[in-house]
Structure 1
Amino acid sequence: MVKHTPSSMSQHPPPEAAQTLLALMHAQGEVARLSEREQLFSALLDSVNAVLWAFDWESRKVLYVSPAYERIFGRPASLLLADYNEWRSSVYPDDLEYAERSLAEVLVKGAVEDREYRIMTADGQLRWLSDKCYINQQTDGDQGVIVVGIAEDITENKQLQGELQRLATTDVLTQSSNRRHFFDCARGAFEKARQDGTALAFLLLDIDDFKQINDTYGHPTGDHVLLRIADSGKTVLRRGDLFGRIGGEEFAAMFPDCTPEMAQHVAERLQREIQRLSFSHDDQTFGVTVSQGLTGIVDSDETLDSLFARADAAMYQAKRQGKNQIVLG
């Protein structure tokens, strides 16, 4: 018969104790795994450049907001969780009505995925958000309506879009409208004048002897002349007038709700402004002049092309008559 010493018995615990120990070890393992998952989930939420949120529609209370809120909004999450109006105060004032109205549309549509509005951070930065929202389909009826959403920071995308738009519509040298953008805007202004029955004037301007300037002083100096002419146009023209560079040394302007006779006063001021400009190159100083052709809508059969052709003919007539003058066409 084998006798069990106390030490040998301690190495073999009763079955019930072993099962309890195994269960405890398993539970500890599950807790560790859950903790790891929670840490991973929290890290993922913190790394995403978007805010996850949940909102109780009936009580007007924010139930949850992810860690990215404080980074994007620059405001403590605790204030938002305590008071829904914290979100309202963060929305850029011009966009608040749209942001609230589009949020309410989720009650009808079930989902709103095209919301874009601006917010102001606590330190005064302006940011663009794409804030999609949905009705939580798993909500218990006793809970009321819970709206969940994701607000993504799209500020960089908006800035890129703005820069691409600027490059597509702006003359690189003079920073005025390029030919395509000018005529796109001019076409819209022309159609509006036709529909409203209002006056409209069209002007073409060409720098006199510009080739000689380039040949004598070099193209960098010629570019400087173009830039100063464009600046003069932007300074003299009225608010709402259109102005752009449509060729090498040729500029155009359109004057909505303005007869050619009224526009001539603006053209004369521009002529004087340009005559006062002074340029220098290698101790040589020189000035420039421009020839302008000006016309307006004369009958119901008028088109933008006919306006352009008449202004162009008037401008070349100004060239033939000695340059540095304005001719009405």
Structure 2
Amino acid sequence: MATDPTLSARERRLIEAVASPVLVIAAGNDAVILAANPAARRLLGERAAARRRLAEALGPDAAAALARAIGAMALNGAGAGVTLDCGAAGAIRFELARDPKDPGLVVATLRPEGAPPTGAADERAELRAVLESLPVGVELYDRDFNALFYNSASDALFDYAGVAIAHHDHWWRLAFPDAEARRSARQDWRRTVAAARADPSRAHMAEWTVRTRDGGDRVIQFFYRFLGERYALVLWDVTEQRRLEAELRSAARTDALTGAANRRRFGERLAHDVAAARAGGGPLALIVLDIDHFKAINDRFGHAVGDDALKAVADRAARALRRDDMLARVGGEEFAALLPQAGRAEAKTVAERLHAAVAGTPIVAGAVTLGVTVSLGVALLRDSDGAPDDLFARADAALYAAKASGRNRVVFEER
């Protein structure tokens, strides 16, 4: 509520000129009528005079119901509508809207229940009802970005507790608590608004991850458009869509059984790491790992046990690698590990740690305990490698050398 709620003489003259019944109410525990135009006084009687308590004008029950409706309204937004029994005046529909600059001031447009809609105020009420029914947020601003209207879908996202957003500038710190993210988004917003001013024939979109009223972060598309002297903003929540897209991207690049990267993602990372090593002059190592006698595990215990063994090997191998290394499943029982910035000594340490992590402790797969061993081949990037596949081919050759020499061991490529 305003500290000293008053209306200027000009504001009072404008209210007096409105044909529909209008009250201006200072909301609170003991709501007071600040202004009642002649149409409202004719409808409610002279008890609806300025500076009269709402309970005196409407009766205690109707005033209490109206106070509850006002209290339930968002600080920002389109307002609310409520029908009240006003005694001798009968049932009256109150369409309520807060003053965007002082949410404690409420403008009520009145219409006897059952009376046909007439006048601009009723048309606005009907338009507001349409906008309220939309599943997307709608916000309207004047040319200086003072708030004129927020619908309920917008309030569901951005009606922050205890904060009235009377101007677009007031929203940024709430939606972007991180200063750097806020700075970047505002730069993007300025570009988008400039484009919307230059081309008002269409909406211009920006997409950001923003903090919403419930304290969570959601991905919202903001569509900006200038309509004459008004500025319209439509909000589309695409959080779920973006989550599903991320899951699909991850599924396309991840082995479904083990959670390791799949062969496609491995190929992309191999090409990237080879190019980075060549550009920076750093080393790069590749380990190829194969589970020994894996077919015998499947044949003896079944594929469910085999799958459990694969998952356990992938988990142990991933834990044995360094933070920036990548593990991928590149075949049925074959895995590859990329080790950026690893020379021969570092690659040897990691390979031996990986071997021990898998083979050092039996694997429990369902009701079966397996002593699983692995063979590993290791290769280092050479200046003579013409393509990323050359590095993989040499690591794979080292793997076959490990298998040929008895399995359950680490073998480096021949220099």
Give TM class, smaller chain. Answer: 0.7 to 0.9
Rate the CA distance shift 1:118–1:105 in 2: closer, same or farther, 3 A. same
1:47 and 2:133 matched = yes
Tell me the CA shift for residue 322 of structure 1.
0.7
- Paired residue secondary structure (2:395): helix
Superposed CA offset, 1:200-226 (max 9, x none) = 111111000000011111111110111
Query: Higher strand fraction: Structure 1 or Structure 2?
Result: 2
1:91 corresponds, among 150, 158, 176, to 176
> Bigger shift: 81-90 or 264-273?
81-90
- Paired residue secondary structure (1:84): helix
Q: Tell me which residue corresponds to 1:81.
A: 166
Q: Tell me which residue corresponds to 2:195.
A: 109
Superposed CA offset, 1:16-57 (max 9, x none) = xxxxxxxxxxxx74518973x545533432333322224457
Partner Cα distance (2:293, 2:234) in 1: 60
Rate the CA distance shift 1:170–1:300 in 2: closer, same or farther, 3 A. same
1:245 corresponds, among 318, 329, 343, to 329
TM (norm. structure 2) is 0.64
Percent identity reads 32
Aligned pairs for 1:230-241 (under 5 A) are 230-241=314-325
Q: Is the 8 A contact 1:69 1:75 kept in 2?
A: no
Rate the CA distance shift 1:48–1:76 in 2: closer, same or farther, 3 A. farther
Aligned pairs for 1:185-264 (under 5 A) are 185-264=269-348
1:31 and 2:121 matched = no
Aligned pairs for 1:171-182 (under 5 A) are 171-182=255-266
Q: Tell me which residue corresponds to 2:223.
A: 132
Runs of 4+ in structure 1 displaced over 6 angstroms? Answer: none
Greater relative contact order structure (CA < 8 Å, 6+ sep): 1
Q: Is the 8 A contact 1:92 1:118 kept in 2?
A: no
1:64 and 2:149 matched = yes
Partner Cα distance (1:214, 1:65) in 2: 62
TM (norm. structure 1) is 0.80
Aligned pairs for 1:232-311 (under 5 A) are 232-280=316-364, 284-311=368-395
Tell me the CA shift for residue 76 of structure 1.
5.3
Q: Is the 8 A contact 1:178 1:245 kept in 2?
A: yes
- Paired residue secondary structure (1:81): coil
Unmatched 5+ residue regions in structure 1? 1-27, 140-145
Tell me the CA shift for residue 238 of structure 1.
1.2
Superposed CA offset, 1:116-163 (max 9, x none) = 1112223322211011223x2512xxxxxx643222111111111111
Partner Cα distance (1:240, 1:294) in 2: 17
1:121 and 2:207 matched = no
Superposed CA offset, 1:253-289 (max 9, x none) = 1111211331121111111111133234686532101
Aligned residues: 293
Rate the CA distance shift 1:113–1:232 in 2: closer, same or farther, 3 A. farther
2:268 corresponds, among 181, 184, 203, to 184
Partner Cα distance (1:121, 1:50) in 2: 15
Q: CA RMSD in A?
A: 2.6
- Paired residue secondary structure (2:406): coil
Rate the CA distance shift 1:73–1:175 in 2: closer, same or farther, 3 A. farther
Query: Higher helix fraction: Structure 1 or Structure 2?
Result: 1
